[in-house]
């Protein structure tokens, strides 16, 4: 049996340990599951991509929205009103 040593940030390790623990396993088992799935899939067991939430365009839109909220520039609509607006298009 081989040993695998990797260096990761302490916070990443702690967060990953918590997720693994919440799933009823330790981090070593979680890494072993990942590696077995990687071999089975002959690639990553997930599709690596960028989360659009963190795109510069979206982050700028969020900053504008927060500034509007902080300035009291708030428009309130009911769900029915919003659905009616969507039906107009």
Domain spans in the chain, listed from the N-terminal domain onward: 1-48, 52-87
The 10 Å Cβ neighbour count of residue 77 is: 10
Q: What is the pLDDT of residues 21-65, one digit of tens each?
A: 999 999 999 999 999 999 999 999 988 777 888 889 999 999 999
Question: Which two structure tokens, joined as six digits, stand for 36?
Answer: 């077995």
Specify the pTM.
0.55
Return the CATH number of the domain spanning residue range 1-48.
1.10.1220
Mean pLDDT over 4-24 rounds to 96
Q: How confident is the model at residue 71 (pLDDT cuts 50, 70, 90)?
A: very high
């Amino acid at each position: 049996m081989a040993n695998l040593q990797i260096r990761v940030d302490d916070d990443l390790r702690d967060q990953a340990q918590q997720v693994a623990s919440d799933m009823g396993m330790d981090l070593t088992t979680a890494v072993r599951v990942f590696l077995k799935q990687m071999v089975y899939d002959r690639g990553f067991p997930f599709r690596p991509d960028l989360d659009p939430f963190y795109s510069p365009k979206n982050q700028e839109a969020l900053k504008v929205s927060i500034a509007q909220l902080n300035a009291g520039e708030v428009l309130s609509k009911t769900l029915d009103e919003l659905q009616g607006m969507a039906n107009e298009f």
